[in-house]
Every structure is written in C-alpha cells, then in structure tokens.
Amino acid sequence: MTFKRLNQGILAVGVALAPMALGGCGFVSPQRTAANAIRDRLPSMIGPAQSYDVSVAGGAFALSRGHASEVRIHGVGVQINPTLTLDDVFIDSHDLNFDRSTHKLTHADDTTATVSIGAQNLSNYLHARHPNWSDLQLAFSNQDIQAQLPLNILDQTAQVNVLGQFVPSPDNPSDLDLHVDSASVASVPVPISLVNYALKRVNPIVSLHSLRYPVQVQSAKVANGLLTIQGNIQLTQ
C-alpha cells in the first residue's frame, strides 16, 4: 500500500489553484474552476480511476491570494500502481497556503487520508508483495480477516488458516502488521504465539515508511466488506 502518489495529488492543488484563482473565472465560481483543474490532474498524479470528485472551499479573494480553507478529494476505483487498486480514496486537507510565484504548498494544518480496499484487490496486492503466497485465500468476516497463508512454523512450511486483523505496527507508525487471533492447520488448532512469531518474518504486511512525506497510520479495520485504513499525512516539514 502506498500514499506517495496520494501526497503528490494534494501537492497538485498548489499548481492548479493559484493560476486558476488569479486568471478570472467569468460565470464559473473560482472554487469550481480550481476543483476542476485539480480533478483533471489527479489521474496522472494519483492514478487512473473510475471517477474523481473534488471540492475546494475558500473565498474568491482568499483563493486569489493562494489560500484555501479546505480541499476534499474522493476517488473511486483508483489504480495506485499495476498491482494495487483502491475501492475508495478520500483525502481531506485544511487551511492550505500556496506560494503564488512557485505554486508550491507552504502550509497545511491537517491532512487526512482514508483508503478502502476490498478482499479481491487486497489479495491481488498481497500476491504481488509476497510471490510465495500464490495460494493465498483471503476473505473478510465481520470485523476480521480470514486467510490461508503458507507459513514456516518450527522449520516446517504449512498452509495455516488464520483469523486476525491488520493493526498499526508498534515499531513504525507507517506500517501495518497482520496479527492473528486464532489459527489452525487442517482443522487442528495451532498456538497463536507460534503463528504470530512466524509472521514476524513477513510483517509488516503493508509498509508506508519509505514515503517522501511522513504518514502515520491511525487505524485499520474491516467493515462493510472493505479494509479501511485511516492516517495523517504531513505535507510540509
């Protein structure tokens, strides 16, 4: 999973907003003009999608001076890279200031990202991330993840049926670990401690720590057939 191109999409606001706000909008509101300009850039900045919707909040005078009180982006079916497609992407940023001469973002009070991914798209991503998991079977059940994983336990590789959750890593706030609550091999229970120990070799399942802009994962949960990850993005340093 990666937020790098999502971050770049937010930075595209600076490029799009300043010239559109300064250029005169006729009968089209400056907010809508800026939003349309941002939306047109998102496929190249974030990735192709089934659809994007963008809204920009701020007065006309504030926009002309490079300030937007809020920018909200919603993408559906967003292809982040050839192996990862997100069912939904929500980005919400507040109190943004841009340098009108360079079109660069100079300040953002708070930027949050919420991405959701279904079981099939998540399976495709994990297959690509872990080529030896070609037989991976994954499904969502209530608030848990059910999976069959090839894990090395006591020097033996076995197909382990697990029930667990993705949780923020205690070692890095930009990573997600798979934590198992129950496990079995051919219907025979396996000690959870052994399985979670084996998972240390493959965790983090999802890693965001190498991105240009720091991302801190706040939560990851399964609901309504989707794994939803919420986090904060620091756009300015």
Residue 22 confidence (pLDDT): 42
Residue 6 confidence (pLDDT): 53
pLDDT means per 10 residues in the chain (237 residues)? 51 51 56 84 85 91 85 91 87 84 77 90 86 84 87 84 90 86 91 90 74 73 90 73
Residue 77 confidence (pLDDT): 95
Residue 13 confidence (pLDDT): 53
Residue 140: both structure tokens together: 């969502």
Question: Distance (Å, rounded) from C-alpha 128 to C-alpha 1?
Answer: 11
Residue 12 confidence (pLDDT): 52
Nearest partner of 230 among 88, 112, 81, judged by Cα: 112
Is beta strand 144-153 parallel, antiparallel or unpaired with respect to 226-233?
unpaired
What region, left, alpha or beta, does residue 145 occupy, with left being phi > 0 and alpha being psi -120 to 50 degrees?
beta
H or E stretch covering 222 = strand 215-223
